[in-house]
Structure 1
Amino acid sequence: MDLLYYIRLMRRNWLLILLSLALGVAAAFTVTANTPPKYVATISMLVSGYDKEGSLSTAYQAGMLSQQRVQSYATLLSSRRVVSQIASGEEVARIQANITVEAVPSTVLLRATVSDTDPARAARTANALGEAFSRMINEIERPTPNSRPTVKVTMVDQADVPTVPISPRPTVNLAIAIAIALFVGIGSLVLRDRLDTTIKSSETLQQASKSSVLGIIDYERDARRHPLIVRKEGRSSRSEAFRSLRTNLQFIGIDRQPKSLVVTSCLPGEGKSSTSANLAITLAQAGWRVILVDGDLRRPSIPGYLGIEGAVGLTDVLIDKARLEEAVQTWSEPNLSVLPSGRIPPNPSELLASRGMRQMLATLSETYDMVIIDAPPLLPVTDAATLAAISDGTLLVARYGKTRREHLARAVDALSSINARVVGSVLNFTPARSNRHYGYGYDPKVKTLTSV
């Protein structure tokens, strides 16, 4: 997967990303509005040692003693002992939690900050803390009660009342919210795409089926109510897709052109029956002598699609209850004949694997230019594999967003195990990028050639 793939993924799901950004911005404004402002007051203190004799050596020793004390004082400054001198009760813990002390590197300076929702109170607390700490150091650093302290702490900079709060920061909150929203939105898209094993591109279908993609059939809203392409004078996008499939079928084997073709899918509901019917219609429109055989002896659907009677058909011929000529029906297309499934038998697999089925298929292949067999799905039953074994080729139909790669791999393995020839695959119900169909047609109202 390259960068272009992810760009396309985000472009297809831009509404989800926009929704994620909107939620992030709303969360940022909510957090900012509900966060009380916080102010920070800062004091600076100098830690120094007493030079008793005024000599250079004693001054150096006093400086070293001050540097040694700085790190310890940084911890001591926020201790309960110091804070309890300026507050009492529950205030001690609150003030301790809002004190930050740092020792300025390579110096003998201490910097203490006190945060509070009240700017004036923050400044008073910081100044009082500095004074209390200076007094405490003056007491604990005396060798004896009456001697001078060895180290003293002097407040260098007192705290001023802050005017600008350090939080909330609307710009920072908004930037963080946008970053998190983009990360969550795009991350969820990529994760969902990586976990989704359904077929959603011709490249994925080609890899999973190990065969060429011969056709991509667009989804149309009225395809369920009107599955055949004879409507709209054959000028729909689905009609063009089936014409393209017809053209590609002519080039799948120059030296070994199949005369019998099994059309099947992995599971029910992937559009293999409508593909069989429309492919047969398209071939017949091109002048081919075609017969469409309903080989689904469990759930036949071809008679319903074509609007014909299906009481007598394939099963009657195989059990010698009817002759082949009597069971075959002609359809509205002059070159298209149909052999319905007939009555549903109790043993479909045995009938399809019989010698009579082989002989009948050989007869049909000699009579017609193309025999198209609508077979049951491959994975639930073995009927399709049985038909594929005695036919010249198999066309696999996959449904966009429903057929899974693992199911397609199992179907291909099942066909490979019986040495069936997979001539190609079709991606069905793909989302149409545009409802506009480009081509040339004749408008009887205008009486001129127009682009439609």
Structure 2
Amino acid sequence: MRRTSAKGGDDPVDLLYYTRLARRNWLLIFFSLILAVAASLVVTSNTPPKYVATITLLVSGHDREGSLSTAYQAGMLSQQRVQSYAELLTSRRVIEKIAEDSDIQRLQGNITAESIPSTVLIRATVADTDPARATRLANALGVEFSNLIDEIERPTPNSRPTVKVTMVDRADLPTSPVSPRPLVNLGLALMIALFVVTGSILLRDRLDTTVKSEEVLQQASNTSILGTIGYERDARRLPLIIRNRGRSSRAEAFRSLRTNLQFVGVDQHPKSLVLTSCLPGEGKSSTAANLAITLAQAGWRVILVDGDLRRPSIPRYLGIEGATGLTDVLIERARLQDTIQTWGEANLSVLPSGQIPPNPSELLGSRGMRTVLAQLTEDYDMVIIDAPPLLPITDAATLAAICDGTLLIARYGKTRREHIARATEMLSSINARVVGAVLNFAPTRNSQYYGYGYESDAEVTEVKETTPAGV
């Protein structure tokens, strides 16, 4: 059974979820790996080569009597000394005797010694940038350490030592450096880069509360999703769906929205619809204009009202004059019939906002606005009102309270879930009816109409007529 995560996709434990997340951030991952490769090359090229020379020392006890018991005691004494001798090998007293002109502290850091488990052997290594010097220092270390043990393990100056150290394996000249190791550096850099970039992507994904799916929008708004409007590259420059004779995926999305809107409230179909969003820049005005055009193309008697009395944008979208409009009607400076304009071949009626007033909220909540709305719902099949954003100001809530329904517009990757929830609570507190939500600017794979290459007979005929002979 497939579960749905808070992001609206598959459960985060599902590999498919992480695959989609990685696909969305492939560019970041790619540049992180390139940076890791470059960093490993820089580190490798700037790291001087280091050679290691190794010697092996044997710790043995002196058997004075040659009996079995004394031999056993000598062996036990050797095993007891091994670990201590391994520590003594790197002591300052030993290093000073072989340091020559080298820095004692640096040389001490380049010498390591360890006891081989279950034996009386000690392995010592000396690292240096010069292989010959590393070999010379390692052999000198074995000789000097043997002399030191011979000196300190004598009970009296004239007696024989109880323990002796013999260098059984002298250091050979190393032929290849132990560092830097390019492949190890490269692998480590790639692992660190993948760890950092993966952690960053997952953290950003967890902290990202923007709406990126219909499921998330439905959950946040607690209402049905009436449509998803895909993103088109030319939508900002040409926001209306009438270009290309309305044959685009975006135009088809608005026709699907129109169809879904017809099934909203079969017994109580809304005749006045407020389109609003949480914050500016989420595409409510272009959605209102295109939805009105789509309804008018289907034969509906539609009027588009620019209810944004602060930043009106409908005249700019439709290319009409907006100096006289709703504001003039509400202050009784003009009659309603004189301010309504007809736009396009579908005979879409448009009521601009008019002059920007100093008190938009008071005008939209006035008795005159209710009278205008009642007259419009009587004359038209659908009244679509482009309202300001809901959260910054109260204009949209004022209009939603007196209209039959409200359509909430959310922008993919920008509108946050908490904003949707807050807007829904605000509309619920004034008993406004939210008929549904629309996800705007959603990414789409194919911007062509339907995406299956269907053509109408008229299109085929037109292509044949305009194609030159011989082509």
**TM-score (ref. length: structure 1):** 0.94
Hey, what's the Cα distance between the residues in 1 that align with 2:197 and 2:77?
57
Hey, what's the Cα distance between the residues in 2 that align with 1:79 and 1:334?
96
Residue aligning to 2:67: 55
- Residue identity over aligned pairs, in percent, reads 75
Residue aligning to 1:218: 230
Moved more, 439-448 or 63-72: 439-448
> What are the within-5 Å matches in structure 2 for residues 24-39 of structure 1?
24-39=36-51
SS state at 1:445 partner: helix
Residue aligning to 1:128: 140
Hey, what's the Cα distance between the residues in 2 that align with 1:39 and 1:203?
61
- Letter aligned with residue 462 of structure 2: K
Hey, what's the Cα distance between the residues in 1 that align with 2:159 and 2:427?
101
Please report how far the alpha carbon of residue 58 of structure 1 lies from its aligned counterpart in structure 2 after TM superposition.
1.5
> What are the within-5 Å matches in structure 2 for residues 65-104 of structure 1?
65-88=77-100, 90-104=102-116
> What are the within-5 Å matches in structure 2 for residues 112-261 of structure 1?
112-261=124-273
Moved more, 41-50 or 172-181: 172-181
Alignment check: 8 A CA contact 2:326 2:352 kept: yes
Please report how far the alpha carbon of residue 444 of structure 1 lies from its aligned counterpart in structure 2 after TM superposition.
4.4
Hey, what's the Cα distance between the residues in 1 that align with 2:406 and 2:447?
31
Please report how far the alpha carbon of residue 6 of structure 1 lies from its aligned counterpart in structure 2 after TM superposition.
2.1
The one of 379, 393, 408 equivalent to 1:396 is 408
Moved more, 424-433 or 434-443: 434-443
Hey, what's the Cα distance between the residues in 1 that align with 2:66 and 2:266?
109
Residue aligning to 1:429: 441
The one of 443, 455, 459 equivalent to 1:440 is 455
Hey, what's the Cα distance between the residues in 2 that align with 1:139 and 1:269?
87
Hey, what's the Cα distance between the residues in 2 that align with 1:227 and 1:348?
26
Please report how far the alpha carbon of residue 102 of structure 1 lies from its aligned counterpart in structure 2 after TM superposition.
0.5
Q: Deviations over 1:232-278 (max 9, x none)?
A: 11112221121111112122333332211100111122211111010
Please report how far the alpha carbon of residue 90 of structure 1 lies from its aligned counterpart in structure 2 after TM superposition.
4.3
Consecutive unaligned residues of structure 2, counting only runs of 5 or more, are 1-10, 466-471
- Letter aligned with residue 247 of structure 1: T
Moved more, 342-351 or 119-128: 342-351
- Letter aligned with residue 40 of structure 2: A
Please report how far the alpha carbon of residue 45 of structure 1 lies from its aligned counterpart in structure 2 after TM superposition.
0.9
Hey, what's the Cα distance between the residues in 2 that align with 1:160 and 1:212?
79
The one of 336, 355, 375 equivalent to 1:363 is 375
Alignment check: 8 A CA contact 1:288 1:335 kept: no
Please report how far the alpha carbon of residue 88 of structure 1 lies from its aligned counterpart in structure 2 after TM superposition.
3.9
Hey, what's the Cα distance between the residues in 2 that align with 1:255 and 1:113?
90
SS state at 1:114 partner: strand
Hey, what's the Cα distance between the residues in 1 that align with 2:301 and 2:283?
23
Q: Deviations over 1:38-88 (max 9, x none)?
A: 111111111111111122222222122111111111111111101111124
Residue aligning to 1:277: 289
Hey, what's the Cα distance between the residues in 1 that align with 2:393 and 2:266?
32
Alignment partner of 1:300 is 2:317? no
Consecutive unaligned residues of structure 1, counting only runs of 5 or more, are none
Residue aligning to 1:415: 427
Q: Deviations over 1:341-378 (max 9, x none)?
A: 22222221112112232233223223221111100111
Alignment check: 8 A CA contact 1:45 1:110 kept: yes
Alignment partner of 1:321 is 2:333? yes
Residue aligning to 1:15: 27
**TM-score (ref. length: structure 2):** 0.90
Alignment check: 8 A CA contact 1:287 1:335 kept: no
SS state at 1:84 partner: helix
Residue aligning to 1:264: 276
Moved more, 400-409 or 267-276: 400-409
Hey, what's the Cα distance between the residues in 2 that align with 1:123 and 1:213?
77
Moved more, 280-289 or 332-341: 332-341
Hey, what's the Cα distance between the residues in 2 that align with 1:16 and 1:346?
48
Residue aligning to 1:289: 301
Please report how far the alpha carbon of residue 89 of structure 1 lies from its aligned counterpart in structure 2 after TM superposition.
5.4
SS state at 2:234 partner: helix
